[in-house]
Structure 1
Amino acid sequence: MKGRPNLYQDNELILKAQELFWEKGYNATSLADLSKATGAGAGSLYNTFKGGKKELFKKSLRQRREDFDDFKWKVEKSDHPIQLIKDFFISVAVASEKAHMKGCIVANTLIEMTFVDDELENEAVEILKETEKLYTSVITKEQQSGNIKSKLPADSLGKFLITLWCGINSLRRMYPNEKILRQQIELQLKILD
């Protein structure tokens, strides 16, 4: 790759790097791994991402936040937001075995970076808390509309969904099986009936 990559190429690099970080984690990913995966030399990577590997990793997490923003927009515009949230969780069950083994890059980051890198840990925490806030907001509205019968506090249910998400991302590694995962996820989601 000659010269400085353009914005499109930068985004392409981020997605390629994200895939590698997702599979190996931050610490196990070397600059040589990133160069090989992205096709960019070490010099190009450092010229493009002045903060080096850490900046590239942060941009990978921010890209996941952009995906969350898209999901948030869909949920907020939906006439059936709880079903959309349930469908999101159920979609985990039908993912590929490779996706099961990768889990969630945000949850993985939280686990890997606790006691290691406060900045990256906090970045992951913030994404999960934004997700929790969305869930809590939707649950509050749906309880007020009578679409959710549970009288448990909406903020507790929002935290429950984050707990479920983090738990699923361990369970799917243990049982990368659609039937088992679907059964477990549907069982947990009954709390939102």
Structure 2
Amino acid sequence: MKGRPSIHQDKDVIRKAQELFWEKGFSATSLSELSKATGAGAGSLYNTFKGGKKELFKKSLQQRREDLKEFRRQLENSDNPTELIKNHFRTIVDTDHRSHLRGCIVANTIIEMTFIDDELENEAIEILKETEKLYTATILEEQKKGKIKSKIPATTLGKYLISLWCGINSLRRIYPDQEILEQQIELQLQIIN
């Protein structure tokens, strides 16, 4: 893909860049690596993403927001949204070793950008807060229906699930083992029964 990418190709470029950022982080990813990974020349990347590497990284994070919107739609259309949330965590167990080592790009960004870049840090924080709000609203609705018996406030459980997400994405790097991860995830998910 030489020259200026088309709008259709822009999404492909963002996905490929996201994969690289996910593994290396923002700071450790060079423009030449992005060019190689995406197949777009450096000039083409800068013509497409006027804010350069930072804009491309922000668009990579924005893709996670798009995934969150899709997850919200799935929850809204589900007969058992609690199980859907639990399955979201359970999918971690069956991912490959490389995915375990990558963890979560959003949580990784918060850690990497704290004290470095407030804009990127806050962008990542907002994604996790949006996820927390989604969890909280879903849990509250399921508590009202009597489908979640826990009397722990939904706001507390929403934050708990974000803590679980960030924690499990660290644990999977320490123990990239299906059995261990499954035990830990199932243990932690008992709180939303």
Shared fold, TM over 0.5:
yes
Match of 2:141 in 1: 141
Shift of 1:7: 0.8
Rounded Cα–Cα distance in structure 1 between residues aligned with 2:187 and 2:135: 18
Residues 104-146 of structure 1 deviation map (CA, whole Å, 9 limit, x = unaligned): 1001001101111011001101100000000000110111111
CA distance in 2 between counterparts of 1:145 and 1:3 reads 55
Q: 2:152: which partner in 1?
A: 152
Matching residue of 1:118: 118
Q: Secondary structure at the match of 2:146?
A: coil
Structure 2 CA distance for aligned equivalents of residues 89 and 114 of structure 1 = 25
- AA aligned to 2:174 is M
Counterparts of 1:186 and 1:86, CA distance in 2: 9
**Match in the other structure for 1:182:** 182
CA distance in structure 1 between the partners assigned to 2:118 and 2:45 by the alignment: 24
Whichever residue aligns with residue 158 of structure 2, its letter is: G
Number of positions where the alignment pairs a residue of Structure 1 with one of Structure 2: 193
Q: 2-side partners of 1:103 and 1:133: how far apart?
A: 22
Cα deviation digits, residues 69-125 of structure 1 (max 9, x gap): 101110111110000000010110111111100001001001101111011001101
**In 1: Cα distance, 2:148 partner to 2:136 partner:** 12
Uncovered stretches (5+) of structure 2, i.e. residues with no partner: none
Give TM-score scaled by structure 2 length: 0.98
Cα distance in 2 between the residues matched to 1:117 and 1:78: 38
RMSD in angstroms over aligned alpha carbons?
A: 0.7
1:23 is aligned to 2:23: yes
2:5 touches 2:40 (CA, 8 Å); kept in 1? Answer: no
> Runs of 4 or more off by more than 3 Å in structure 1?
none
Q: Which residue of 2 aligns with 1:53?
A: 53
Unmatched tracts of structure 1, length 5 or more: none
The Cα shift of 1:3 comes to 3.1
Distance 1:77 1:85 in 2: 13
